[in-house]
Amino acid sequence: MSVHRLSACEAARQLAQRSLRAEELVRACLERIGAREPQVQAWSHVAGQAALERARALDRGAHQGLLHGLPLGVKDLIATADMPTTYGSPIYAGHQTAHDASCVALARAAGAVVMGKTVTTEFATFEPNQTRNPHNSAHTPGGSSSGSAAAVADGMVPLALGTQTAGSLTRPAAYCGIVAFKPSFGGINRAGVKPLSDTLDTVGTLARDVPDAALLAAALSGRADWLVRPLTQVLGRPLRVGLCRTYEWPHALPETQAALDRAAAQIGRTQGMTLHKLQLPADFEQLVQAQTHVQLAEQAQHLAYERLQHFERLSPRLQGIMNAGMAVTLGQYDQAQAWLARCRSQLAEVFQDVDVLLAPSAPGAAPAGLENTGDPIFCRIWTALHTPTANIPAGHAPNGLPVGLQVVGAVGSDALTLAAAHALHQSLGAQ
């Protein structure tokens, strides 16, 4: 296997043993970026020389931590002191902060090598930038963590940081055929990330398998129990999986319907797992609308400076989003927040007889065209409920593009969610 295709966990093992040098790994990733970036366009900034210098310093010094020598992509919504942070907008072209975001500082302290900034959509909303799906450049990679997902899927880096306010981790991971982990709300510190929503924004991780996504999340959260362990150690009994189509099921395309059916059949045949069909409480039917109102209203407030001072420099799509956010009345906002709280209070009931849920990640495979990033409709409710989720690849559409499913856990059950996602990914053939 080419060095740039090593899993993060395997590379970390070899780096710790000094059988692999950080410089060798970083150089291999830079060569991959050089070869593929003209087609994929995943990066807004590549810090090649700085990455090599950092790798050489790590090779000379003591082992630094969980991420020692591992190349990392950072979404261009997240502050970095030594390279531009443009938020995907021409308003901030060349902008550079004086500090690292908390997650970047912690990643560096754990030994990561920041390779550069990955492309985000405009202010992490719905206006695409240049990134293309690495499996088919005529299709979207999803958004808003577009570049992070594409870079990981294409073997440019083993790990990347992203964020989610609606579906910005889960959807691009599903479209690009990789893993995304969105921890419980607040699981990874958000300081230094351009905010869109105080009550929804979540920092998460992208990788090619669950143990790698968990490795990065564990390093950033300080929670060693997030490192993937066998289910027998985490649970000590069979995993109870709730098959959850959600109220949004009418939006599922045939490839997503088929993926969930295949997964259900496989779970039923897998030792150590039991399948339970699950219907969400009736109140959950209005969750998408409530989440949308909260997101629109909070985005319009967080982007008040850009909206008030640079409205003409926003894309027409984002101008429309800002106007829609300002049209949400305080009464509608308060009602939506109350509805979200009401639904969160019912989560104990949802997980009473199951450990995790298995649900769609997106309506289907990545849509054709680069004009939009797809629909986050299957992600909104879980972001609103603050639950941990992990997208896992679950097959392919007839056109060969990946299809994903998401494993959803109860709030605070991140370690179990990761262990279950790994077991389910393996059960489904790690497709």
Q: Read off the pLDDT of residues 327-337 as tens digits, 9 standing for 90 and up.
A: 999 999 999 99
Average pLDDT over the chain, rounded to an integer: 97
Where are the chain's structural domains?
Answer: 122-431
Band (1; pLDDT cuts 50, 70, 90): confident
Neighbouring residues of 360: CB distance < 8 A, sequence distance ≥ 6: 245, 246, 248, 249, 252, 256, 259, 260, 378, 405, 406
Q: How far is CA 60 from CA 54, 67, 111, 188, 266, in A?
A: 10, 16, 13, 30, 48
**Distance from C-alpha of 421 to C-alpha of 358, rounded to nearest angstrom:** 9
pLDDT tops 70 at residue 133: yes
Instruction: Give the CA dihedral 121, 149, 140, 390, nearest 10 degrees.
Output: -100
Positions marked catalytic: 75, 144, 168
Rounded-to-integer distance, Cα 180 and Cα 416, Å? 15
β-bridge mates for residue 274, sequence order: 240
- Return the pLDDT at 430: 56
pTM, two decimal places: 0.98
Instruction: Give the pLDDT confidence of 304-347 residue by residue, as tens digits.
Output: 999 999 999 999 999 999 999 999 999 999 999 999 999 999 99
Alpha-carbon separation of residue 366 from 82, 171, 203, 369, 393 (angstroms) = 33, 9, 23, 9, 13
Main-chain dihedrals φ then ψ at residue 398, nearest 5 degrees: -55, -25
CA 355 vs CA 147, 265, 395, 409, 427: distances in Å: 32, 18, 23, 7, 16
Whether 431 has a pLDDT exceeding 60, the answer reads no
Is beta strand 402-409 parallel, antiparallel or unpaired with respect to 71-75? unpaired
Q: What is the pLDDT of residues 177-196, one digit of tens each?
A: 999 999 999 999 999 999 99
Second-level CATH architecture of 122-431: Alpha-Beta Complex (3.90)
Kindly give, in sequence order, each residue whose CB lies less than 8 Å from that of residue 260, ignoring residues fewer than 6 positions away. 243, 245, 252, 358, 360, 394, 405
Mean pLDDT of 148-170: 98
